[in-house]
Amino acid sequence: MNIRRVFYSVLAGGAIAAGGLAVPAAQAVDAPVATTTSTAVAADNWEYVGDFFWQSDCHAAGAAGTKWTKYKCINGSAVPGDDYELWVVYK
């Protein structure tokens, strides 16, 4: 057996084990939403329309809508980039 292979295998295994036992970094926490933002949203009468997997599909559906004056796509999933919610303000 080649001594270099054994050495690099042990070195790689030690690095993997050390990485698995390392202390995980603190996860980011979303900042609380200010009350002025929620009252501004309520004043505009935003209404939920539906979910879209792709952000481009959400924007396409929002721009194509003729029943509303403005729209926004909000990332509504715990996984970034996975689920977009379409919110609109009807005419």
Who has greater pLDDT, 82 or 42?
A: 82
Amino acid at 12: A
pLDDT at 14: 61
pLDDT at 77: 75
In 25-83, which ranges are E strands?
47-52, 68-75
The answer to whether residues 89 and 67 touch, using CB atoms and an 8 Å cutoff, is no
Q: CB 9: neighbour CB atoms within 10 A? A: 10
pLDDT at 22: 54
pTM of the model: 0.50
pLDDT in tens, 12-24: 666 565 555 555 5
